[in-house]
């Protein structure tokens, strides 16, 4: 297999594009089939459908690769009505470009086969071989609110992220649009102005292209914005106060001399936004000591930001370690910033967090 990952990138882009179109169609339905998982977080028919579509595309192209995906089919096996809803979504989700559909490997052979496909995302992960990480909808709470969300896919080889793709249906197509809150699904109906696919391959830079309903649109290179003084930075953080400490972020910003208010958005759209220069910093500060971050919440964004000229670490300044299984058990929080100011930001993070103890 070639080492420039061209085939992997092409399949990943098309698979994410198709799955993102599926999630958009769910958003426009009244019933999103929301269930609460055992950790009290939501999952919808859009999450299940997107996961089924992405895994089936990966299996058609790379049958020997392992897959770590967020969702499992258990709830659908126990709920025939939801299973049927997801199955009809999956059957309807087709890109209008025949070549693209051919690349993605044809239709799934029935609803029960679809459940088995969803459950193929149960790899334990680890430090060897080819492993894909899938978050079929990252920011499910944002998705339900009509805010930002992202369909996320990354390929790790021997624990290193090689390919990352993010489908962000509610971000503006223009890389120079200023970062602001409250751009969401209402805006995304303005034809052609919203919906972006972001991607990166290790050593090859990062790109953005408009999300399409058919084949892939033309891509542009993206870069983080040059920043001479960190006090001029715009930083982004979670909408959900339970996911990231907004109080700690405000104290860190103050220490850095930042006066602009934070931009709150759900999902890995934060990584994508800073990678394209629409914002500068992404701060994710642990709320609970016992929470462990999941690899599918970070793998694609980590590569896209680093390939756009950024650095991504935890709050201690350690790189995110994707080799340890399904979680980032050796990391706490995430700090992403342009390379030349990252250590300065980490210094402020350490001062604020150590003052709390
Ligand atoms: N206590 C917690 N701390 C940090 N992240 C959490 C969390 N509880 C859930 N999450 C994760 O936060 C993700 C959303 O991130 P953000 O706040 O940046 O939008 C969720 O992804 P899903 O929506 O895919 O479940 C979930 O995995
Ligand atoms: Mg979830
Ligand atoms: Mg997620
Ligand atoms: Mg998710």
pLDDT (tens digit per residue) in 280-292: 999 999 999 999 9
CA-closest residue to ligand 1 atom 2: 243
Mean pLDDT, residues 188-192 taken together: 62
Q: Alpha-carbon torsion 208, 209, 211, 214, what sign?
A: negative
Q: Is 352 a member of any domain? A: yes
Query: 239 and 207 in one domain?
Result: no
pLDDT at 184 over 80: no
Ligand 1: nearest atom to the Cα of 149: 19
Q: 244: closest CA among 280, 291, 276? A: 291
Identify the pLDDT of residue 31.
Answer: 77
Q: Report the domain count for the chain.
A: 2
Query: 144 and 77 in one domain?
Result: yes
Query: 126 and 86 in one domain?
Result: yes
Identify the pLDDT of residue 187.
Answer: 58
Range(s) of the domain holding residue 217: 6-222
Query: 246 and 127 in one domain?
Result: no
- In this structure, what token pair is assigned to residue 83? 């299973």
Whether 137 has a binding-site annotation, put simply, is: yes
Q: Which of 222, 255, 283 is the last residue of a domain?
A: 222
Q: Which of 169, 188, 222 is the last residue of a domain?
A: 222
Q: Are 230 and 344 in contact (CB under 8 A)?
A: yes
Q: Is 1 a member of any domain? A: no
Query: 331 and 245 in one domain?
Result: yes
Whether 297 has a binding-site annotation, put simply, is: yes
Give the relative orientation of helices 80-92 and 111-118 as an angle to the nearest 10 degrees.
90
Three-state SS at 129: coil
Ligand 1 lined by 288 (C-beta under 6 Å): yes
Ligand 1 lined by 140 (C-beta under 6 Å): yes
Task: Give, for ligand 1, the residue of 41, 266, 331 to mutate: max count of ligand atoms closer than 8 Å to Cβ.
Answer: 41
Helical (H) or strand (E) element with 114: helix 111-118
pLDDT (tens digit per residue) in 200-257: 999 999 999 999 999 999 999 999 999 989 999 999 999 999 999 999 999 999 999 9
Dist CA 217 CA 353 (whole Å): 44
pLDDT at 181 over 80: no
Identify the pLDDT of residue 188.
Answer: 53
Task: State residue 274 phi and psi, 5-degree precision.
Answer: -75, -30
Q: Tell me, in angstroms, the distance from the centre of ligand 2 to residue 42's CA.
A: 6
Identify the pLDDT of residue 69.
Answer: 98
Ligand 1: nearest atom to the Cα of 135: 24
Share of the chain above pLDDT 90, in %: 88
Task: Give, for ligand 1, the residue of 239, 292, 297, 329 to mutate: max count of ligand atoms closer than 8 Å to Cβ.
Answer: 297
pLDDT band at 185 (very low <50, low <70, confident <90, very high): low
Query: 137 and 29 in one domain?
Result: yes
Three-state SS at 316: coil
Identify the pLDDT of residue 179.
Answer: 74
38 burial (CB, 10 Å; 0-12 / 13-18 / 19+) is: exposed
- In this structure, what token pair is assigned to residue 208? 């953005």
Q: Tell me, in angstroms, the distance from the centre of ligand 3 to residue 60's CA.
A: 25
pLDDT at 39 over 90: no
Identify the pLDDT of residue 357.
Answer: 76
Ligand 1 lined by 135 (C-beta under 6 Å): yes
Query: 348 and 218 in one domain?
Result: no
If you ran DSSP here, which 8-state letter would residue 122 be given?
B
Mean pLDDT, residues 65-88 taken together: 96
CA-closest residue to ligand 1 atom 1: 243
Q: Is 263 a member of any domain? A: yes
CATH assignment at residue 142: 3.30.540.10
Query: 79 and 15 in one domain?
Result: yes
Ligand 1 lined by 287 (C-beta under 6 Å): yes
Ligand 1 lined by 356 (C-beta under 6 Å): no
Q: Alpha-carbon torsion 170, 185, 296, 356, what sign?
A: positive
Q: Is 325 a member of any domain? A: yes
Identify the pLDDT of residue 28.
Answer: 83
In the predicted model, what is the mean pLDDT of the chain? 94
pLDDT band at 346 (very low <50, low <70, confident <90, very high): very high
Higher pLDDT, 173 or 180: 173
Q: Which of 204, 222, 240 is the last residue of a domain?
A: 222
Query: 156 and 21 in one domain?
Result: yes
Query: 168 and 76 in one domain?
Result: yes
Catalytic residue among 20, 23, 103, 140: 140
Identify the pLDDT of residue 30.
Answer: 72
pLDDT at 198 over 80: yes
Ligand 1: nearest atom to the Cα of 70: 24
Q: Are 216 and 209 in contact (CB under 8 A)?
A: yes
CA-closest residue to ligand 1 atom 7: 243
Mean pLDDT, residues 22-45 taken together: 87
Q: Are 321 and 345 in contact (CB under 8 A)?
A: no
Ligand 1 lined by 238 (C-beta under 6 Å): yes
Identify the pLDDT of residue 190.
Answer: 59
CATH assignment at residue 335: 3.40.190.80
Query: 236 and 109 in one domain?
Result: no
Q: 76: closest CA among 32, 122, 116, 133? A: 116
pLDDT (tens digit per residue) in 318-334: 999 999 999 999 999 99
Mean pLDDT, residues 38-60 taken together: 94
Active site residue 47: yes
Q: Which position has the token pair 């999956």? A: 90
Query: 218 and 290 in one domain?
Result: no
What are the CA-CA distances from residue 39 to residues 43, 171, 258, 279, 331 (Å)?
11, 28, 35, 31, 20
pLDDT at 189 over 60: no
Active site residue 313: no
> What DSSP assignment string belongs to 233-280?
--EEE-S-TTTS-HHHHHHHHHHTT--SPPEE--STHHHHHHHTTS-S
Task: Give, for ligand 1, the residue of 142, 239, 243 to mutate: max count of ligand atoms closer than 8 Å to Cβ.
Answer: 243
């Amino acid at each position: 297999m070639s080492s420039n990952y061209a085939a992997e990138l092409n399949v990943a882009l098309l698979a994410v594009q198709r799955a993102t179109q599926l999630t958009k169609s769910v958003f426009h339905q009244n019933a999103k089939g929301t269930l609460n998982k055992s950790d009290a977080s939501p999952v919808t028919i859009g999450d299940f459908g997107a996961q089924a579509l992405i895994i089936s595309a990966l299996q058609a192209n790379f049958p020997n690769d392992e897959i770590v995906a967020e969702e499992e089919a258990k709830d659908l096996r126990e709920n025939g009505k939801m299973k049927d809803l997801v199955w009809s979504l999956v059957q309807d989700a087709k890109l209008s470009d025949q070549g693209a559909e051919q690349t993605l490997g044809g239709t799934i052979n029935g609803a029960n086969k679809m459940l088995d496909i969803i459950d193929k995302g149960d790899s334990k992960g680890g430090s060897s071989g080819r492993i894909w990480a899938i978050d079929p909808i990252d920011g499910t709470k944002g998705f339900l609110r009509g805010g930002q969300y992202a369909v996320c896919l990354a390929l790790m080889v021997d624990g290193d992220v090689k390919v990352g793709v993010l489908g962000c249906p509610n971000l503006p197509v223009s890389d120079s649009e200023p970062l602001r809150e409250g751009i969401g699904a209402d805006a995304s109906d303005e034809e052609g102005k919203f919906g972006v696919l972001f991607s990166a391959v290790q050593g090859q830079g990062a790109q953005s292209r408009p999300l399409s309903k058919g084949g892939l649109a033309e891509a542009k290179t993206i870069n983080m914005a040059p920043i001479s003084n960190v006090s001029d930075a715009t930083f982004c953080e979670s909408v959900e106060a339970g996911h990231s400490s907004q109080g700690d972020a405000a104290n860190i910003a103050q220490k850095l001399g930042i006066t602009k208010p934070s931009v709150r958005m759900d999902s890995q759209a934060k990584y994508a936004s800073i990678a394209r220069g629409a914002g500068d910093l992404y701060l994710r500060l642990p709320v609970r000591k016992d929470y462990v971050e999941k690899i599918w919440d970070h793998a694609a964004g980590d590569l896209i930001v680093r390939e756009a000229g950024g650095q991504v670490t935890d709050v201690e300044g350690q790189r995110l370690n994707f080799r340890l299984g399904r979680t980032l058990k050796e990391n706490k929080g995430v700090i992403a910033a342009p390379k030349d100011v990252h250590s300065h930001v980490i210094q402020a993070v350490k001062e604020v967090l150590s003052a709390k103890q």
